[in-house]
Amino acid sequence: DVKVTQSSRYLVKRTGEKVFLECVQDMDHENMFWYRQDPGLGLRLIYFSYDVKMKEKGDIPEGYSVSREKKERFSLILESASTNQTSMYLCASSHLGQGKEKLFFGSGTQLSVL
């Protein structure tokens, strides 16, 4: 069974901490994505990567960075966590290709910043 695995289901951090959210996929997908999900706002794209060491900004990249050193792993980094970054974070992956490709999602990380 194909999988996108997010390292934590729930995470509680303090304001100002550096936070790492990890995502691993076992499908040899080229594309990986980080979305943020908030009630009433739906899913918004933070960053995506279409190849190792490649990254592109999505709609809301401010306050975030990403790292993709290996094809199967895509990390989201909050350099200095703030309370407005409390949210559900969803990782996804897809095959090489644009537009038509189906996204495979992880189960999400609910991050609370206190």
Partner 1 sequence: AQTVTQSQPEMSVQEAETVTLSCTYDTSESDYYLFWYKQPPSRQMILVIRQEAYKQQNATENRFSVNFQKAAKSFSLKISDSQLGDAAMYFCGYSGAGSYQLTFGKGTKLSVIP
Residue 99 contacts partner 1 per CB under 8 A: yes
Q: Cα angle vertex 81, ends 45, 85, to 5°?
A: 40
x/- map, 54-93, partner 1, by CB under 8 A: --x-x-----------------------------x-x-x-
Between CA 6 and CA 37 the distance in angstroms is 15
From the CA atom positions of the chain, what is the Rg in Å?
A: 13
Q: Cβ 94 to partner 1, closest distance in Å? A: 8
Write out the two tokens for 69: 């050193």
x/- map, 11-50, partner 1, by CB under 8 A: --------------------x-x-x----xxxxxx--x-x
